[in-house]
Structures are given as C-alpha cells and as structure tokens.
C-alpha cells in the first residue's frame, strides 16, 4: 500500500462540499432553503463521505446578490433561521465528523450595513471605512450617460463586474463611493486600520462558535491598486493583488488564526486573476497567508474575448494542459483547490459533458479526472447527482443580478440581437447552479412544500437523490466511492503528477506516482470509442461495468469511460 509519510493538515486529504443555502432544502415552506433544512440533510453529506461543508452566506442581508451583500456579519438572516439553528447545524456536522467553513465576504458589505450608513456622513470616524471620491472636475454631467447608468462626472470610467460604473453618487455624502459589484455592495477601505481590526474580531467570534475556517470571497480585490483613482478606463482585471494584499493576508493570519494555536483551520481564497506563481505566494505555508486558492483560469477556457456569456465548446486539450500546468507549478509548494462547479458556474455535465446521451458517464468521467489532479476537491450541491443546466426559455425567468444586468446592457440598452446573446446567457447564467436541489420525485423535488424561489428542473422525477443513494451504477455512488478512495490512497493526495502529452485529443491520461505506487487515471472524454493500450493493474474506480468487448487486450475505452488503475503489487489491507 502506498504510505503517507508526511504529516499534513487535515484539509489536504479532505473533500469539500458546497451548499448554496437558498437552494438546498427548505424546511418551513417559504420556498427558500434554510439552516434546519441543511441540518436535516447532514446524514446525506455523511453518506457521501465529504469532510468539510462550505456554506455560502447565511448572514443578515437585503439579498441583492443573494447574501453576498452582508448587512450584519454577526446575525443569521431570518430567511435562513436563527442563531440556535446555526448552533444545531454546527453540532450536527461535527457529530458526523464534518467541519464547517463559512463564506467571508469582506471586500464589500451591503449598503444597508450600519458601517456604510455611518460612512455616508463625511464627519463620521467611519467615513474612511469605505472608498469615497469627489466628482471629476470640469466633466459635464450626463455627457457619457448610458440610459441613466452614468452621470458623466464619475471619478473614472471603470466598469463594475456586474455592468455599469464602479462609482455611485451619494446625495448625503455628496461624493461617489466605489463598488466593484452592484451599487448595493460598496467596497470596504482596507487601508483603514480600525476597519481591519473590526473584521478580524468578527472572524474570531465565528471561530469561537466552532466554525473551522473561511472561504474568502474575492479576496484578491481587497487591496486597491493605486491607479484605480486615475481618470480613465480600467478593468477589474488590473485591480487584483494590489500593493498591500499579501501584507493584509499575513496580518489576518496573525490576528485571527494564530490566536488559536491548538486548532488547525482551513482557508480558501477566491482569487480571480491568480497565476500559479501568485497561488504559490498565497499558499506557501511558510508565508502564513492562505491554505489554498480558487483560481479561474480553467473556468474561462471556453469563453470568447474574455466575455463570460460568449462561449464556445471547450477544446479539451486546453483544459488538460491548464490543469496540468497548475498542478505541476503549485504542487506541494503551495496548495490548489479542484473544482468544476460552484454557485457562480453553470453545471459541468451540461457545459463540458453530454447531458442528453451520456449524463452518467460524462458526469463521472469529468469528476474522476478532476479528482485525480493534486489539490483539495470541491463538490457543489447536485454535482454528485449529475444535475444539469435548466432549460430556460425567457430572460424573465432569471433571478441573478449578473445575468439580468448583462442582458440589459447588451440587449435592452446595447441593441444587440437577442437571438445572438441568448444561447450564451442560457448556458452560462449562475442560476443554472441555483435551481433547487432534487431530493426525490415528490412535488418540487422534495425541496419545498411552498413555491420555490427558482424553478425546479423538470427532470427531477427521474433525476433525484432518492433514486441514486445506495443504487449501484448511480452518479452518487460513483462519487461516494471516489471520495472514499482518496482517503485510502495517499498517492492521490501527494503523488507526483504527469500528463501524458500528445495523446489523441479526446483521451485524457494522467499519472500520479508516490514511492512505488503509480495511479493511472485515464478517460475517453467523448462519445466515440478510443483505442489505447491501457496499463495493467488493479482497477480501483471505473464508471462502466465490464462487457464482453471488454478489453481482453485492454485496448479500448468506451464512450466517456474513465478508469483509475493502480499499478503496484497489492499488499495486505488493500
Ligand atoms: C464572488 C461570489 C459571487 C458574488 C461576488 C460578489 O465571486 O462567489 O457569488 O456575486 O463574489 O460578492
């Protein structure tokens, strides 16, 4: 058996499961998921075998961005439950051996946060907790107006992540404030020492309640670049990793995590724009910043001209080489996360797989190839069932602010042809990930007895957890087995990585090696059979049953077939 020689923190051998609380399980019939609903489903998470739960925000919020706009960091939003409900969830998770990671949204707050309300008063000591600027002198108001979105004398012409200017005029302050996302999400001014101290204290209060770590929302944006305030156009891409970024992370580590010498926490930074070199800087343990990062390079390989909603079919070799480059350059020097889906991305089985003819095979092939890389795997709710994109028919069906704003800018204001814009919007909208979890074939898929806030996918009668848990040959059981294998085979966690280059484009073959153990993960990522000399060894994971055609000579992979093969002699205990 491959042996684990290095003592590593628990999160390296873990698999994380992400819950988007609005869409997971409603318990009170209001059509929105909640904390008691999640607690009810903890045994489901335990059955899947995940080690950590990342909970998207449940704090008090006006929900302009579904909780990523926080009005009170210490309160649970009544929509999701109470402090007691939260304590019950923590204790239920811990009693099942599952840790809890909270979403930390500290690049910005809600405009309803009392800090922002105070900040609007220029004489308040908290004025400086947000980023305020005077109008550009001499600029004629309304010259650059785009149907009311721009006044014309904004400090500059930078465009926000969710369309429109990054500046909004405030009548009380008589100044503009900065927001990289919606106007209801003003950016905090991390230059202010008192503000940072307040954030660290808030983090410690959550850790005191048993929370095991944080997923840090758009953390790479907290230190603003100096040219952000210059007159001119600019892109958020250049706003990442500002001059004091690493200093802030190190300070946070000292002020928050070092206060608990007996506990090992888990931190993952959402770091749009990160390169492997930057990822190593953030996650090299000796630098004491973060444990791992979410990077985005592999998430934009199918987009055209950097436009998220303008996509083409993924060219698989791009994905293979991108993940290989990240794995070899970050490796054990830092640590990476492995994901294909989350609450901001469409469903991978629809985006990269085949949700019409090969849902089971393509969902499992993608899962197994991703999990064979080096890093901590993240599974997003419903991925373990092969849930796919929703069949949207009209823009009115969307709830998501990013999707609606994009449509407004392109079609309603920009006059683009809706027929051209629609396919990308339907494929890429974040709402694809947010339709309710499909539990069973009862009404609303067992998600809610009320009216769900987003429609349930019509395929729920056949695609649901009840029809998969404990059922051999289901996507759930495949994921359960795959997650368990990670615990038994340290080669998956620590093994050196090699991508077999120059193979047929639809063949994906990687090799991990630890001591005398080699793990081959190989898959046919297409509907056409692939001929390949498959190595001999013990097949520890495979998504299709053996068949007569089954490789007496080991030279054929069926459509979307994946195998994990160990090529070491098997010893006792295997
Ligand atoms: C992150 C979140 C996303 C949110 C944005 C602003 O990217 O994942 O859901 O809209 O930050 O907080």
Residues 235-261: tens digit of each pLDDT? 888 899 999 999 999 999 999 999 999
Give residue-wise pLDDT tens across range 473-526.
999 999 999 999 999 999 999 999 999 987 799 999 999 999 999 999 999 999
Distance separating alpha carbons of residues 531 and 330, to the nearest angstrom: 32
Residue 456: partners with Cβ closer than 8 Å, 6 or more residues away: 435, 436, 438, 444, 445, 447
Tell me which of 17-26, 237-246, 304-313, 541-550 is least confident.
Answer: 541-550
Q: Is 270 a catalytic residue?
A: yes
The pLDDT value recorded for residue 493 is: 96
Give whole-number Cα distances, 401 to 65, 77, 456, 481, in Å. 7, 20, 19, 37
181 close to ligand 1 (CB < 6 Angstrom): yes
Tell me which of 325-329, 511-515, 530-534 is least confident.
Answer: 530-534
Q: Name the residue of 344, 403, 429 to mutate for ligand 1: max ligand atoms within 8 A of Cβ.
A: 344
Write out the DSSP string of 11-66. Answer: GGS--EEEE-GGGT--SSSSSS--HHHHHHTHHHHHHHT-SEEEEPP-EE---TTT
532 close to ligand 1 (CB < 6 Angstrom): no
130 DSSP 8-state letter: B
pLDDT at 31 over 80: yes
* 134-138, 302-306, 412-416, 520-524: range with highest mean pLDDT: 520-524
pLDDT at 8 over 80: no
**Of ligand 1's atoms, which has the minimum distance to the CA of residue 180?**
6
Of 562, 448, 455, which is closest to residue 506 (Cα–Cα)? 562
68 close to ligand 1 (CB < 6 Angstrom): yes
Q: What is the percentage of the chain residues whose pLDDT exceeds 70?
A: 95
**What is the arithmetic mean of pLDDT over 66-70?**
98
pLDDT at 353 over 70: yes
Query: Which residue is associated with the tokens 């991508």?
Result: 499
C-alpha of residue 67 to centroid of ligand 1, in Å: 9
- Beta-carbon count within 10 A of 311 CB: 18
Of 81, 107, 2, which is closest to residue 491 (Cα–Cα)? 2
pLDDT at 148 over 90: no
H/E run at residue 424: helix 418-428
pLDDT at 3 over 50: no
**What is the arithmetic mean of pLDDT over 201-205?**
98
On the CB side of 263, CA atoms within 13 Å amount to: 17
Residue nearest to atom 9 of ligand 1 (CA): 344
C-alpha of residue 148 to centroid of ligand 1, in Å: 25
413: buried, middle or exposed (CB in 10 Å: 19+, 13-18, 0-12)? middle
Give whole-number Cα distances, 507 to 16, 478, 482, 510, 518, in Å. 27, 20, 20, 10, 19
Higher pLDDT: 99 or 573? It is 99
> Strands, DSSP E only, in 334-473?
337-338, 376-380
Q: Is 561 a catalytic residue?
A: no
C-alpha of residue 377 to centroid of ligand 1, in Å: 20
pLDDT at 365 over 90: yes
**Cβ distance 346 to 433 under 8 Å?**
yes
Give residue-wise pLDDT tens across range 81-90.
999 999 999 9
**Of ligand 1's atoms, which has the minimum distance to the CA of residue 430?**
9
Of 425, 69, 383, 15, which is closest to residue 218 (Cα–Cα)? 69
**What is the arithmetic mean of pLDDT over 381-396?**
98
Residue 218: partners with Cβ closer than 8 Å, 6 or more residues away: 107, 180, 270, 272
- Beta-carbon count within 10 A of 32 CB: 25
Distance separating alpha carbons of residues 283 and 474, to the nearest angstrom: 36
**Cβ distance 475 to 363 under 8 Å?**
yes
C-alpha of residue 216 to centroid of ligand 1, in Å: 10
Distance separating alpha carbons of residues 112 and 184, to the nearest angstrom: 8
C-alpha of residue 463 to centroid of ligand 1, in Å: 28
**Cβ distance 226 to 244 under 8 Å?**
no
C-alpha of residue 66 to centroid of ligand 1, in Å: 9
Query: Which residue is associated with the tokens 């969902």?
Result: 363
Radius of gyration, alpha carbons of the chain: 24
Confidence band of 4 (pLDDT split at 50, 70, 90): very low
Task: Give the strand order in the sheet containing 167-170.
Answer: 132-133, 175-178, 167-170
Of 5, 35, 48, 37, which is closest to residue 377 (Cα–Cα)? 48
pTM equals 0.96
Q: What mean pLDDT value characterizes the chain?
A: 94
162 close to ligand 1 (CB < 6 Angstrom): no
Residue nearest to atom 7 of ligand 1 (CA): 218
Angle at which helix 359-371 crosses helix 475-488, to 10 degrees, equals 20
Out of 65, 184, 187, 270, the active site residue is: 270
**Cβ distance 525 to 512 under 8 Å?**
no
Confidence band of 549 (pLDDT split at 50, 70, 90): low
The pLDDT value recorded for residue 179 is: 97
**Cβ distance 35 to 58 under 8 Å?**
yes
Task: Enumerate long-range contacts of 113-120, CB under 8 Å, 24 or more apart.
Answer: 113/70, 113/71, 113/72, 114/71, 114/72, 115/188, 115/195, 116/186, 119/173, 119/177, 119/186, 120/170, 120/172, 120/173
Out of 103, 187, 217, 409, the active site residue is: 217
Tokens for 164?
């429109």
34 close to ligand 1 (CB < 6 Angstrom): no
Q: How many helices (H) and strands (E) does the chain have?
A: 14, 22
Confidence band of 142 (pLDDT split at 50, 70, 90): low
């Amino acid at each position: 058996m491959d042996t684990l020689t290095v003592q590593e923190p628990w999160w390296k051998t873990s698999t994380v499961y992400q819950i988007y609380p609005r869409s997971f399980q409603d318990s009170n019939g209001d059509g929105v998921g909640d904390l008691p609903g999640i607690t009810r489903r903890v045994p489901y998470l335990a059955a899947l075998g995940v080690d950590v739960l990342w909970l998207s925000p449940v704090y008090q919020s006006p929900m302009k961005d579904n909780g990523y706009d926080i009005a009170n960091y210490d309160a649970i939003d009544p929509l999701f439950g109470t402090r007691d409900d939260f304590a019950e969830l923590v204790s239920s998770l811990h009693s099942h051996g599952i840790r809890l990671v909270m979403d930390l949204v500290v690049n910005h707050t809600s405009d309803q946060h009392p800090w922002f309300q105070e900040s609007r008063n220029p004489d308040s000591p908290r004025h400086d907790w947000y980023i305020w600027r005077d109008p550009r002198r001499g600029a004629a108001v309304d010259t650059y107006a785009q149907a009311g979105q721009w006044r014309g004398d904004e400090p500059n012409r930078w465009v926000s992540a969710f369309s429109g200017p990054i500046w909004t005029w405030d009548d009380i302050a008589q100044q503009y404030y900065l927001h990289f996302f919606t106007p209801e999400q003003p950016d905090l001014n991390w230059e202010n020492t008192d503000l940072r101290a307040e954030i660290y204290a808030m983090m410690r209060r959550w850790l005191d309640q048993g929370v095991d770590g944080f997923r840090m929302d758009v953390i790479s944006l907290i230190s603003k670049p100096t040219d952000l305030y210059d007159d001119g156009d600019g892109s958020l891409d250049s706003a990442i990793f500002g001059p004091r970024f690493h200093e802030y992370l190190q300070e946070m580590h000292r002020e928050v995590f070092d206060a608990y010498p007996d506990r090992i926490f888990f931190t993952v930074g959402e770091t749009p724009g990160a390169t492997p070199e930057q990822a190593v800087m953030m996650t090299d343990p000796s630098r004491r910043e973060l444990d791992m990062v979410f990077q985005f390079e592999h998430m934009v390989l199918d987009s055209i001209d950097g436009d998220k909603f303008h996509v083409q079919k993924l060219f698989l070799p791009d994905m293979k080489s991108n993940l290989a480059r990240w794995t070899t350059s970050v490796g054990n020097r830092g640590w990476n996360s492995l994901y294909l889906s989350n609450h901001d991305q469409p469903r991978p089985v629809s985006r990269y797989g085949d949700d019409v003819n090969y849902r089971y095979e393509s969902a499992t092939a993608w899962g197994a190839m991703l999990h064979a890389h080096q890093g901590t795997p993240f599974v997003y709710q419903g991925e373990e069932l092969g849930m796919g994109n929703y069949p949207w028919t009209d823009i009115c069906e969307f709830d998501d602010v990013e999707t609606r704003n994009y449509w407004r800018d392109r079609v309603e204001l920009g006059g683009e042809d809706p027929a051209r814009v629609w396919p990308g919007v339907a494929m890429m909208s974040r709402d694809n990930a947010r339709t309710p979890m499909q539990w069973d074939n009862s009404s609303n898929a067992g998600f809610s007895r009320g009216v769900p806030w987003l429609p349930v996918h019509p395929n729920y009668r056949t695609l649901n957890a009840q029809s998969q848990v404990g059922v051999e040959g289901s996507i759930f059981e495949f994921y359960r087995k795959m997650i368990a294998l990670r615990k038994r085979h340290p080669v998956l966690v620590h093994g050196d990585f090699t991508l077999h280059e120059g193979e047929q484009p639809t063949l994906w073959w990687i090799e991990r090696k630890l001591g005398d153990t080699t793990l081959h993960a190989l898959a046919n990522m297409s509907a056409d059979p692939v001929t390949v000399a498959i190595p001999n060894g013990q097949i520890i994971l495979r998504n299709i049953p053996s068949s007569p055609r089954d490789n007496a000579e080991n030279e054929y992979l069926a459509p979307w077939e994946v195998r994990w093969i160990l090529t070491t002699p098997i010893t006792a205990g295997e």
